[in-house]
Structure 1
Amino acid sequence: MGSVLAITGPIYLVLAAGYVATRGGLFQRAEMRIFGKYVIHLALPALLFNALSQRSVGEVLNPVFIVAYAGGALVAMAFGIVWARKVTGKSISASAISGMGMSCPNSGFIGFPLVAQLFGGATAGVGLALAMIVENFLLLPLALAIADSDTGDAPAGSTRGERIRAALAQSGRGLVRNPMIHGIVAGFVFSLFGWQLPEPVAKAVNLFAMSTAAVSLMVIGGSLAGIHIGRLWRDVTVIALGKLLFHPLATLALVWLLPPMQRELQVAVVVMAAVPMLGIYPILAQKHGHDSMAAAAQLGTTVAGFFTLTGLVWALRG
């Protein structure tokens, strides 16, 4: 168990450092957004570029990983939506936010550092790139489109299907401006043509990439400061169970059923699915007035994630 804690412990120690530093007044909680912008706009794109540009396209594009990751997430999202809608009677938007919380992992800020502790940055970078493709092109647009179908940008009197299509179109336009997508596309282009950056530029990109893990974990910890679960514990408990247990189990089932892939990628896809929800979860929920529930769920899931991730790593290493 000591060797397992040596993997998960550093992740949560840096996360706790961000929480303590913000709680103690060294940073303001609002400043975490500035650090988050740095990670999203500079560090993560550099990391994704490095992960893809230094390998052949055949090494990176692993369809089994993509199907397992996407399939497990879609099952978890459907479970979350059905539970919230049919069991608790929540609105369409609240149900979509619950489904998003169960199915959209924080692959960049927590998943990558954890997989890097297990297998090093090479495997973690490839897994992150594939996860980002699924998240940005499928999971987030779908969840947001379902949530926006309660209101959406379609004309008044339009059908729910028309509102979903309008929301999907809006999500598609957002992808064009997503710097992480830019890093993925640039990495694939350099890989395809065998290009290399000039050495000074490559070293600068590498410096940005190396800062990803520490800064991203500090952001998550600092963002949790000041959040309280309160009377939302029932929603928090179900979303946390869905994210930390149901989602990785659904992904693991697909890993068993699908054709085999490299052992490290098998572990990476399950670990990526098992981490808490994405860091901007409360921000995405804010548009529909569900940010309090999302923030409380993020806090509870992140804290509980230390125990579930430690147990998962122990089991997978065995």
Structure 2
Amino acid sequence: MLEILAITTPIFLLIGAGYLAMGIRLINREQVQGVATFVLYFALPALVIRALTQSPLDEVLQKPYLLAYGLGSALVFGLALLLTLTLQRKPLSEGALHALGVSASNSGFIGYPVAAMVLGSSPAAVFLALNMMIENLLIIPMALILAEAGRQSGTGIGAIAGKTFLRLIRNPILIGLALGLLLAVTETSLPRPLAQVVEMLANAAGPAALFVIGGTLFGLQVRGMLRDVGQIVVGKLVLHPLAVLGLFLLMPAADPTLLAGALLFACAPMISVYPLLGQRYGMAGVSAAALMVGTLAAFLSLSLAIWAIQAAGLLPIG
């Protein structure tokens, strides 16, 4: 257990450093947002580019991972949407945001740093790139299209999907994915100075992202939203990993490293922009509270995931 804490404790100490820096007013929210912008627009795209170009493309594009993690995430998304719409009678926009919260992991800011410490930076970066494909090409667009459809009743689904697509193609992560895939497909190597810049930016992604999470959590409160927050957090940290695990077990001879990586990413809390999207669709309080509770609870879920990986012999840790 001590070796597991040795992995997870530094992650949450870095989150705590960001929280403390906000608490003692060493930095303000605008400065945290500046670091977040650096991570989102520079560090994470560089990390994705490095992941896609450091190995042959057929070794990076792991179809079993894409299939199991993608279907598991979509299954949990659909289940959460069905629950909120039929049993709780919530509006479509709110149901879509609930579904997003339980099915899209904070892959860049928490999933990757944890996986890098457990599996090593190279495989963790590959899993990050695969998760970014699943989340940015499937889960997030699906949620935004449904949320917009609920808010703009009467507008054609084609027009809503078109607007969502135009917003998403400006996403720096998707731009990094496109550049990385282009370099990998054409087998083009970056000039040495550019490659060094990509390497330096990629190495900065993990610690900077964790610091941002801590600063973002400062000041968030959970009041009067226990049921909704509880459903989202339990869905994300329990149902999502179980669904991904179930899909992997249905596959013949699943690669243990792929399974270990998928579980670590699935046990991460919801995406960091969840409160921003929630604010757009009338769920500002619930989404912010869910992010805070989910991030704190992820200390337990990730520790349990690492223990389970070790106990099952999927990965020798230590």
TM range (shorter): over 0.9
The question of 1:172 aligning with 2:151 is answered no
The question of 1:207 aligning with 2:200 is answered yes
Deviation at 1:251, TM superposition (A): 0.3
Match of 1:282 in 2: 275
Where do residues 1-318 of structure 1 align in structure 2 (5 Å cutoff)? 1-152=1-152, 157-158=154-155, 162=156, 164-318=157-311
Alpha-carbon distance in 1 for matches of 2:107, 2:160: 24
Alpha-carbon distance in 2 for matches of 1:62, 1:295: 33
The one-letter code matched in structure 2 to 1:252 is L
Deviation at 1:51, TM superposition (A): 0.8
Deviation at 1:157, TM superposition (A): 3.8
Is residue 112–residue 124 contact of structure 1 (8 Å, CA) maintained in 2?
Answer: yes
**SS at structure 2 position matched to 1:231:** coil
Deviation at 1:145, TM superposition (A): 0.8
Is residue 145–residue 165 contact of structure 1 (8 Å, CA) maintained in 2?
Answer: no
Which deviations, in whole Å up to 9, do the C-alpha atoms of 1:136-191 show, x marking residues without a partner? 11100001111111223xxx744xxx2x3322222211232122112112222222
**SS at structure 2 position matched to 1:275:** coil
Alpha-carbon distance in 1 for matches of 2:34, 2:8: 26
Which deviations, in whole Å up to 9, do the C-alpha atoms of 1:97-148 show, x marking residues without a partner? 1111000100011010111011111101110001001111110000111111
Deviation at 1:204, TM superposition (A): 1.5
Deviation at 1:259, TM superposition (A): 3.1
Is residue 74–residue 139 contact of structure 1 (8 Å, CA) maintained in 2?
Answer: yes
Is residue 263–residue 305 contact of structure 2 (8 Å, CA) maintained in 1?
Answer: no
Alpha-carbon distance in 1 for matches of 2:76, 2:160: 21
Which residues of structure 2 form unaligned runs of 5+? Answer: 312-318
Is residue 107–residue 278 contact of structure 1 (8 Å, CA) maintained in 2?
Answer: yes
**SS at structure 2 position matched to 1:30:** helix
Is residue 96–residue 147 contact of structure 1 (8 Å, CA) maintained in 2?
Answer: yes
TM-score by length of 1: 0.94
Alpha-carbon distance in 1 for matches of 2:206, 2:253: 29
Is residue 282–residue 291 contact of structure 1 (8 Å, CA) maintained in 2?
Answer: yes
Match of 2:316 in 1: none
Alpha-carbon distance in 1 for matches of 2:76, 2:231: 12
Alpha-carbon distance in 2 for matches of 1:214, 1:157: 45
Alpha-carbon distance in 1 for matches of 2:45, 2:247: 29
The one-letter code matched in structure 1 to 2:103 is S
TM-score by length of 2: 0.94
Is residue 64–residue 259 contact of structure 1 (8 Å, CA) maintained in 2?
Answer: no
Alpha-carbon distance in 1 for matches of 2:252, 2:133: 21
Number of residue pairs the alignment of both structures matches: 311
Deviation at 1:307, TM superposition (A): 0.8
Deviation at 1:34, TM superposition (A): 1.5
Deviation at 1:215, TM superposition (A): 0.6
Q: Which runs of 4+ in 1 moved over 4 A?
A: none
Alpha-carbon distance in 2 for matches of 1:295, 1:279: 9
**SS at structure 2 position matched to 1:244:** helix
**SS at structure 1 position matched to 2:224:** helix
Alpha-carbon distance in 2 for matches of 1:190, 1:110: 27
Please, which moves more after superposition, 231-240 or 175-184? 175-184
Alpha-carbon distance in 2 for matches of 1:105, 1:284: 14
Alpha-carbon distance in 2 for matches of 1:296, 1:261: 36
The 1:45/1:166 distance shift into structure 2, 3 A limit, reads same
